[in-house]
Amino acid sequence: MLTQAFTDYKHGIRPSGPGARDLVEFFETVDGKLRISDAGAPKATSDPAVRNLMSKRAASLHLGAANYCWFTDPSRALCLKLAGTPTADKPLAGMCDSTRCAQATHHQCHRPVWAEQAQTLRVFIGGLSRRQTTERHRLGAELARIEKVITDIDASEDTASSPNGKP
């Protein structure tokens, strides 16, 4: 998964989510080490070389159906803060709120999960009676949050199709 995320980065497809900036900065560092050797000659970007440079980060990766958790710093993990266990050595996937955690990223492979959840909410909201305004409002806010994640994932793909990988 990490190699795929790096390959996407190399093709201009950036992650989205609160942890995206940190991950892109990490990939830029790895990319810089792969491109230039001490003599200034380009280095090969073979998979083993990438894996070697990214092995520490790979150990911190926790896969989720809707996001990747880059659990590099327990003190920054929202799930641990919410659970009151800030010194735990692994994330609490069941408490993950990837739209707010500084270590979570969303990638193209996560889009179908978010799109399905959005569709389910639309159907559910459509079935609410007019009197259920509080529930309609709560679910509407959740739908807006999900649609923003989808928009951000789509924007990361659009970045890849524009010149120089910039929107």
Cα 108 from chain centroid (whole Å): 9
How far apart, in whole angstroms, are the C-alpha atoms of residue 85 and residue 119?
Answer: 34
Structural domain count of the chain = 1
CB 148 within 8 A of CB 18: no
Which residues are bridge partners to 77 per DSSP? none
Cβ neighbours of 90 (radius 10 Å) = 13
What is the pLDDT at residue 50? 66
What is the pLDDT at residue 43? 52
State the residue range of the domain holding 104: 2-165
What is the pLDDT at residue 33? 75
Q: Would you say the pTM of this structure is higher than 0.75? A: yes
Average pLDDT per run of 10 along the chain, which is 167 residues long? 87 95 92 63 57 83 94 93 92 93 96 98 96 96 97 83 52
Burial 99-118 (b: 16+ CB within 10 A, else e): bebbbbbbbbbbbebbeebb
What is the pLDDT at residue 38? 44
Give pairs for 73-76: CB < 8 Å, separation 24+.
73/103, 76/101, 76/102, 76/103
Parallel, antiparallel or unpaired: strands 104-105 and 68-70: antiparallel
What is the pLDDT at residue 162? 55
Which string of DSSP letters, residue by residue, matches 92-128? -GGG--TTT-TTEEB-GGGHHHHHHHHHHHHHHHHTS
How far apart, in whole angstroms, are the C-alpha atoms of residue 53 and residue 85?
Answer: 31
Locate all alpha helices (DSSP H) within the chain, ordered by sequence: 2-10, 20-35, 47-59, 78-83, 111-126, 133-161
